[in-house]
């Protein structure tokens, strides 16, 4: 039962005159209960009232531990990740898995600000064939763990029969196709920008470059509807929508986790599912995935 205090005790607890208690009840909403003509006060409600009436309250730094009943993942979206989180929610009542589609760069930023437990990313480094490490080292040093979720195929999605005779990623830089593009900060958008830069092509010459779709699926729908001739997205979307796809690049798609939360209950529950038989069978229904290194901690070569 909550600790009850008399008017005198409440005044002593707050360090004020007993008569001031009565004015605070009426003027400032001091929480109290009148029983048989006497006021009684609960200590925890007085503490809450003090907190709510504090001026210049210092900001509370967000940490993943603030969200004890949630497992928050932010970053790059993925069809197989959606399936993994559905399986997680089916198996476990808590923590509740929550995904925010911010793109790879947005996920990195959210992780840096301690707004999530896990960031999902596939950022191809400017030089070489590695993924994510340059961005991780710049923002976090050695304070995070990089765990591979999968390798997946990025492809140029085209209408059935490939009517525009697209042969690869270079065709998106040719200017002859209207494209459906991903939003800024996504790994897919950065991959296309790298191709344009490598060829010295201005994005202003690419029809549809200024479109900005948040999901791979949205790009596929634009091609399916005929509003775009082609779009860069994961091959699994093309397979799902009945589109043709021209392979572009196999990429490493990783989970990035702060070391101080890596062994937390929710994160480890998710990692355990990467080797779960039901998840592995589920992944077999999607094209363009390689799970041979899924769940492994990866390091820069």
Buried-state track 239-273, b at ≥16 Cβ within 10 A, e below 16: bbbebbbbebeebbbbbbbbeebbebebbebbbeb
Q: Say how far apart CA 103 and CA 227 lie, in whole Å.
A: 23
Topology match between the domains 4-52 and 154-250? no
For the CA atoms of the chain, what is the radius of gyration? Answer: 27
The four Cα atoms 222, 227, 230, 231 give a dihedral, to 10 degrees, of -40
% of the chain surpassing 70 pLDDT: 95
Compute the residue count for the chain: 301
Q: What is the pLDDT of residues 217-235, one digit of tens each?
A: 999 999 999 999 999 999 9
Q: Which residues pair with 39 in a beta bridge?
A: 34
State yes or no: cis peptide before 95, omega within 30 of 0: yes
**CA nearest 103: which of 81, 126, 121, 124?**
121
Give me the sheet containing 33-35, strands edge to edge: 4-5, 38-42, 33-35
What value does the mean pLDDT take over residues 18-25? 89
- Nearest C-alpha neighbor of 106 from the set 74, 73, 65: 74
How does pLDDT run across 233-280, given as a tens digit for each residue?
999 999 999 999 999 999 999 999 999 999 999 999 999 999 999 999
pLDDT, tens digit, 9 for 90 and up, residues 28-85:
889 999 888 889 988 888 888 888 787 776 664 556 656 779 999 999 999 999 999 9
Q: What is the reported pLDDT for 45?
A: 86
| pTM recorded for the entire structure | 0.79
Residue 234 burial by Cβ neighbours in a 10 Å radius (0-12, 13-18, 19+): buried
DSSP characters for 253-300? EEEEEEHHHHTSHHHHHHHHHTT-HHHHHHHTTSSSEE-TTTT-B---
Distance CA 211, CA 221 (A): 13
Contact 94, 55 (CB under 8 A): no
The class (CATH top level) of 64-149+255-290 is alpha beta
SS3 of residue 122 by DSSP: coil
Where exactly are the structural domains of the chain? 4-52, 64-149+255-290, 154-250
Query: Top-level CATH class of 154-250?
Result: alpha beta
Longest dimension (CA), the chain: 88
Tell the burial category of 1 from Cβ atoms under 10 Å away from its Cβ (0-12, 13-18, 19+): exposed
Decide if pLDDT at 2 tops 60: no
Checking if the pLDDT of 186 tops 60, the result is yes
Q: Does the pLDDT at position 1 exceed 50?
A: no
Q: Residue 43 has what pLDDT?
A: 87
Residue 199 and residue 174: Cα distance in Å, rounded?
9
* CATH architecture type of domain 4-52: Orthogonal Bundle (1.10)
Task: Give me the pLDDT at residue 37, please.
Answer: 83
């Amino acid at each position: 039962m909550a600790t009850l205090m008399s008017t005198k005790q409440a005044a002593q607890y707050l360090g004020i005159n007993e008569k001031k208690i009565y004015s605070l009840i009426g003027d400032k909403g001091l929480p109290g209960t009148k029983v048989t003509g006497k006021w009684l006060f609960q200590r925890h409600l007085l503490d809450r009232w003090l907190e709510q009436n504090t001026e210049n309250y210092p900001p509370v730094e967000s940490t993943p531990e603030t969200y004890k009943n949630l497992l928050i993942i932010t970053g790059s979206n993925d069809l197989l990740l959606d399936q993994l989180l559905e399986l997680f929610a089916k198996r476990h009542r808590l923590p509740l898995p929550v995904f925010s589609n911010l793109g790879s760069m947005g996920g990195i930023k959210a992780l840096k600000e301690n707004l999530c437990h896990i960031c999902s990313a596939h950022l191809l480094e400017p030089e070489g064939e590695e993924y994510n490490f340059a961005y991780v080292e710049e923002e976090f040093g050695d304070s995070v763990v990089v765990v591979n979720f999968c390798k997946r195929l990025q492809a140029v999605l085209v209408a059935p029969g490939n009517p525009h005779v697209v042969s690869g990623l270079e065709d998106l830089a040719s200017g002859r196709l209207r494209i459906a593009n991903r939003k800024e900060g996504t790994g897919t958008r950065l991959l296309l920008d790298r191709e344009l830069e490598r060829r010295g092509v201005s994005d202003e010459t690419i029809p549809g470059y200024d479109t900005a779709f948040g999901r791979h699926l949205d790009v596929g729908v634009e091609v399916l509807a005929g509003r775009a001739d082609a779009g860069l997205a994961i091959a699994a979307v093309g397979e799902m929508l009945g589109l043709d796809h021209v392979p572009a690049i196999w990429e490493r798609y990783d989970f990035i986790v702060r070391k101080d939360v890596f062994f937390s209950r929710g994160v480890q529950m998710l990692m355990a599912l990467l080797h779960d038989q039901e998840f592995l069978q589920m992944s077999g229904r999607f094209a363009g995935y390689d799970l041979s290194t899924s769940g492994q901690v990866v390091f820069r070569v």
